[in-house]
Amino acid sequence: MRSLALPGDGTTRIRLALYFTKGLGDVVAAESAAIVPASVLLQEGDRFLVVAMTAAEAAHIGGRARTIDDARLLVAGPERINSEDGFAALCAAAARRVRRILAPGDGEPAGPCSITLSARSPVWRESPAWDPAPILARHFPGADLRATVRSPVDLRVQADEDKVHIALNLWSRPIGKRGDDGPARPGALRRTVAAALLRLAIRDVDPDVTMHGVYDPFCGTGTVVAEAARLGLPVFASDIDERAVQIARDQLAGELAGSPPGAAGALRHRVFAHDVRRGPPRRVSARVVVGNMPWGKQVKVDGRLALFDATTLLTGHLLRDGGAVAFLTTSEDALIARLRRQRLEVFSRRIGLLGQTPAIVMARTR
């Protein structure tokens, strides 16, 4: 991805806003700290973190992060904004910073500019309401406030009630959209969520257990197991859709291209068509199970409760000697009840995804 020139002399810390799916902030914070141990967490929100690091360290985040949807240079805020005048002052501060970065001296930044507006119950909708668009247009002349594709220079205005910040893109596209996500498919899981789901499943599991492998019984095009392969873990995957299984094999073959001879050739055995309602597959030796169960706005499935029964039977079978699972579902209560019958320790958390609030249900042996 093409990147903008980052400010700083190599030692000066800059402030980055790291954006993520709501409910996954701790996973993002852990990954950020692992990539850049010297980074400092300055502020936590339910959809973004503010961290301090050098420009070189920020480049590492842009190249290596898997759970972060986007990372931007913070140019103004976060501040509590209570009026039009306060918002105008924030925009003025942001405009000055952007000019210093993109057009050192007295010039104006060349080229088009777009503005991404992300607002949740913003202050300007309260009584008396006011419109932020004229203020943005005044301080960022020529900016496209309705762009559907972001320009080389894009500003994100993030408003969570009365707390507002403005951040400048550093890369030509969000770092969570690398172009390596594989073909689109109904029900396909966002890559950053798949990476977070996997990390939640394995973070408290003994490495000896994880080295038995990761199994996704609802693999689709292989987003979860591709992330597992990136971590160097053996992978198993199945799906009832044979076309999706082939796409998953192709995606994994790309991930394993640099692996020892024979690794890619084993994929036909490890990635296969299977309906979990037929029982646990014999060829799977993994003890970590991670999956995006069909839910909500995704693929319609008949016999949902039968699917849950079969999934928990599979879980109990694979975790009989220890291990962990993480499933994404909108039927949280039904799945939790069944997992507890397997005498597993169960946890859950809700996230914000596709306008819904599915739960990540995690379980492990007691």
Beta bridge partners of 235: 214
Span 103-112, average pLDDT: 60
pLDDT of 142 reads 81
Write the DSSP symbol of residue 144. B
**187 contacts: CB under 8 Å, gap ≥ 6:** 220, 292, 294, 298, 299
Tokens linked to 259:
């692996």
Q: What is the reported pLDDT for 183? A: 47
Q: What percent of the chain has pLDDT over 90?
A: 71
Q: What is the mean pLDDT of residues 344-358?
A: 92
| Mean pLDDT to the nearest integer, 95-118 | 78
**Number of structural domains found in the chain:** 2
Read off the amino acid at residue 199.
Answer: R
Q: Does 196 share its domain with 115?
A: no
Name the more confident of 264 and 69. Answer: 69
Q: What's the one-letter identity of residue 72?
A: R
Query: Do both 203 and 351 map to the same domain?
Result: yes
1 in a domain, yes or no?
Answer: no
Confidence at 269, pLDDT banded by 50, 70, 90? confident
Mean pLDDT of 25-42: 97
Tell me, yes or no, whether 74 and 44 share the same domain. Answer: yes
Domain-embedded: residue 327: yes
Same structural domain, 224 and 158: no
Give Rg (Cα) of the chain. Answer: 23
Write the CA distances from 157 to 119, 189, 308, integer angstroms.
Answer: 8, 26, 41
**Residues 158 and 280 grouped into a single domain:** no
Mean of all residue pLDDT scores within the chain:
88
Q: Rounded mean pLDDT of 245-255?
A: 88
Residue 350 has a pLDDT of: 96
pLDDT of res. 349: 97
pLDDT band at residue 296, thresholds of 50, 70 and 90? Answer: low
* 153 and 257 together in one domain: no
Confidence band (pLDDT; 50, 70, 90) for 69? very high
Of 148 and 338, which is predicted with more confidence? 338
Q: What is residue 222's DSSP assignment?
A: T
What are the tens digits of pLDDT across the range 170-210? 998 899 986 555 445 555 789 999 999 999 999 999 999 99
Look at residues 39, 40, 69 and name the one whose alpha carbon lies nearest to residue 57: 39
* Inside any domain, residue 7: no
Query: Would 207 be classed as within a structural domain?
Result: yes
228 — pLDDT class (breaks 50, 70, 90)? very high
In a domain, 8, yes or no: no
Residue 155 sits in a domain whose CATH number is 3.30.2130.30
Strand segments, DSSP code E, in 31-173 are: 40-44, 48-54, 70-80, 113-120, 153-160, 163-169
**Predicted confidence (pLDDT) at residue 298 exceeds the cutoff of 70:** no
What tokens does 331 get? Answer: 């039927």
Maximum distance among all alpha carbons in the chain? Answer: 70
Examine the pLDDT at 240 and tell me if it is beyond 60: yes
Angstrom distance (rounded) from CA 213 to CA 285: 7
Q: Convert the pLDDT of each residue in 34-44 to its tens digit.
A: 999 999 999 99
Predicted confidence band of residue 232 (pLDDT cuts 50, 70, 90): very high
Strand (E) or helix (H) holding 17: strand 13-19
Whether 46 contacts 158, CB under 8 Å: no
Query: Torsion angle of alpha carbons 152, 157, 158, 163, nearest 10°?
Result: 150
Integer Cα distance of 99 and 185 in angstroms: 41
pLDDT at 159 over 90: yes
Q: What pLDDT shows up at residue 8?
A: 58
The answer to whether residue 185 is domain-embedded is no
d(CA 200, CA 328): 11
Give the domain range for residue 164: 13-169
Which residues, in sequence order, are bridge partners of residue 160? 120, 163
**Residue 24 pLDDT > 60:** yes
* 318 and 255 in a common domain: yes
Report residue 354 as tokens: 């596709």
Residue 65 per-residue DSSP state: -
Q: Residue 18, SS3?
A: strand
Q: Which of 113-122, 191-200, 264-273 has the lowest mean pLDDT?
A: 264-273
- Domain ends where: 113, 139, 169? 169
| pTM for this prediction | 0.91
